Amino acid sequence: MRVTIWAVLAFAALGAGSLMGLASPAAADPYDYPWCIQGRQQGYPGYCGFQTYQQCQATASGQDASCGYNPRFAFGPQRMPPRVIR
């Protein structure tokens, strides 16, 4: 009976450990860039993989798309400047 209880506990711990590995946060790329291409194919907010407006415009040219500011940047937490200790 003791062996069965330990086997069940070990199996539960192994399952919980694997679930914790699956719950890790997603990679920041490409959603941490400030410019998104938006259109019929991309939807909203679209593909947010552009560091500059010019990069986004170059990709959007020739498509039924435009560029907009990434809402994660616009409405995300504000970055505080470093404090100066005097």
pLDDT in tens, 29-57: 545 789 999 998 888 888 999 999 999 99
Q: What is the mean pLDDT of residues 65-73?
A: 90
Residue 14's region, left for phi above 0, alpha for psi from -120 to 50, else beta, is alpha
pTM of the prediction? 0.53
Distance of CA 54 to the CA centre of its chain: 22
> Residue 86 and residue 77: Cα distance in Å, rounded?
27
Which pair of tokens denotes residue 57?
A: 């415009």
